[in-house]
Amino acid sequence: MILSFDYPPANRGIVVVWGMLASFPFGGMTWQVLHYLAGLRRLGFDVWYVEDTDSELLDPITFCWHTSEYSANVRYLAQYMNSIGLGDRWIFRPPGVRDATLGARDLMGLAKLYKEADAVINLCGYHPLRSEHDDIACLIYLQTDPMVDQIKVAENDAQKIEQLDAYNYLFTYGENLEAPDCLVPVDRYQWHPTRPPVCLDWWFTDSPPILDSALTTISNWEHWDNDILWQGEKYYWRKDREFRRFIDLPTKSLLPLELALEGINAQEEAEMINHGWRIVCARALSDPIAYRNYICASLGEFTVTKDQYVRPRTGWFSDRSACYLAAGRPVITQETGFSKFLPTGKGLFAFNTMEDILAAVDAIESDYEGNCRAAREIASEYFAAEKVIGSLMERAGF
């Protein structure tokens, strides 16, 4: 896969992005990293990608966790860095190895890069800080999952506070933080709102959805345990609870509904099918091209959102949903407060109730082409990588 790129001169400074491209080598996570890297490079930054943690790696072939065998992960990393024209701009330090790196620079070269860099962006906050990072001039924390960090700070979690104190700027996908209707506590720090960037040209398609296509989404059915308790309320980090709230939707919808799922057992799958849902295995969509093709072949997206984003009204919006919009596919997604910042009612629909969903389905079914155009326009205006990342870097002083 070679994605389109025509980069300007890299004369705006050196930016390092820490991410999970090799550690979590599957569709959605890969696109997330690539959008940031290409977006920064399109803005004229000399961008480098680095993985510098001791965390376990997910094998891209077996999907098993391991640390000692990482050759497949490195091949995956090299492949996708080459695909965006940055094959000479990545460094990977194997977990547990402190005297060697793979990629464009050795360990001394990595240390030099940190000293030369104008900024390091910690995407998802995944990389822990170590003494080797003390020479970094500007650290930017990019929180893609709002609420947990903020609650830890409110509860005076010393480890979290020490971590966040090290950063010069904190950005969050929680665009509604600090609003009167948002339940997330915001103490001690200023969190700058941002949203997922998308390289629009990578998602453009003039092909219509495939025959017998559906409103789809790609999701884990259950997630690892990241539920959190705040002021006597438990906020859940899983999709199955939310899908079950609307389990009868296919019997009422004018359009078919399909879920590409990972982590659903046979009994639960049979239950969903019995209620009219189409279920396909998301494992095949771990390949980024298959992931993209699935989105482009869909009528649009119907999805729910984790309770941890919904009830506190965080204003969070999905990077996957942004990809559907960029492909010109309308999106129906659960309200988190994002409708205060993004236009809804055509191309993009926010819902709280079953009635909201059915009204959105009716609107899409009655003017499909108009909703596709509106989806693409929303992506262009609100999610274009150059705009989103340009705003982030400007607010960070670049």
> Which pLDDT band, with edges at 50, 70 and 90, does 137 fall under?
very high
Residue 327 is predicted with a pLDDT of 98
HSE-CB of 41 using CA atoms within 13 angstroms = 21
Say yes or no to pLDDT of 322 above 70: yes
Residue 212 included in any domain: yes
Residue 263 included in any domain: yes
Task: Compute the distance between CA of residue 34 and CA of residue 12 in angstroms, rounded to an integer.
Answer: 19
Residue 4 included in any domain: no
56 and 79 part of one domain: yes
42 and 182 part of one domain: yes
297 and 190 part of one domain: no
Q: Tell me the two tokens of residue 364.
A: 């899409």
Residue 3 included in any domain: no
Say yes or no to pLDDT of 223 above 80: no
Residue 87 included in any domain: yes
Residue 347 included in any domain: yes
Residue 125 included in any domain: yes
State which residues form the domain around 156.
14-197+384-395
Q: pTM value? A: 0.97
Say yes or no to pLDDT of 1 above 70: no
149 and 50 part of one domain: yes
20 and 133 part of one domain: yes
Look at the chain and report how many structural domains it folds into. 2
118 and 181 part of one domain: yes
Q: What is the mean pLDDT of the chain?
A: 95
Say yes or no to pLDDT of 154 above 70: yes
109 and 216 part of one domain: no
Q: Where residue 229 sits, what CATH number does that domain have?
A: 3.40.50.2000
Q: Tell me the two tokens of residue 1.
A: 């896969």
Mean pLDDT of 182-209: 96
